[in-house]
Amino acid sequence: MLKSEKVGFILSSLNELYPKTPIPLVHKNIFELLIAVLLSAQCTDERVNKVTPLLFKIANTPKAMAKVSVDQIYEIIKPCGLGPQKSKAISNLSNILIKNFNREVPNTFEELEKLPGVGHKTASVVMSQGFGYPAFPVDTHIHRLAQRWGLTNGKNVIQTEKDLKRLFPKENWNKLHLQIIFYGREYCTARGCLGIKCNICTTLYPKRIKPIKTNK
């Protein structure tokens, strides 16, 4: 199967399975989304969604969050892991948003990635899901499936993002990255498929027998 045929099959399969792509992290504004995505690093969305209502009840704007002590933030978010680093980042970025951005979350990659605790993936999620800007955040699910589907060599997540952006139309990116995540959680799981069981893997590679070892 040619790569263009793979792309077409993947798009049609995922659109059929997931015609709608609700954002997994519960939020009411872009600041809440930014904080939720920051907390999701090395943590499940499910756990983040249990923690954020408690945090956002106290503060859901930069001005309000800047008034909350780092220790108080930590006590709420520690179930998400990396609590000391994340609580400091949340406090510091809130103060930066007040001082430099008129209490607003910036809408460029460059400015977002300068904020404490915000890397390229977090910025990409905020840009795509918060501002609707075409982006392709690559998490562990996407990195794994892109390798199993022969769309990238899996050298690293940066390369995977470049390869996927090159293969798929820009107008599909924001929806597609969520569709791949949903599929990776439901059908092509880390240990449940291994590139040889789910419908997309077996259709793309019907003769594949050996499990695929993916790069992390």
CB 204 within 8 A of CB 1: yes
Q: Which amino acid is at 11?
A: L
CB 201 within 8 A of CB 188: yes
User: Known catalytic residues?
Assistant: 121, 139
Burial class (CB in 10 A: 0-12, 13-18, 19+), 202: middle
Which phi and psi (to 5°) does residue 208 adopt? -70, 130
Q: Tell me how far the alpha carbon of residue 46 is from its chain's centroid.
A: 13
Assigned token pair, 204: 């793309």
3-state helix, strand, coil in the chain (%, to 5): 60, 0, 40
Which DSSP letter does residue 205 get? Answer: -
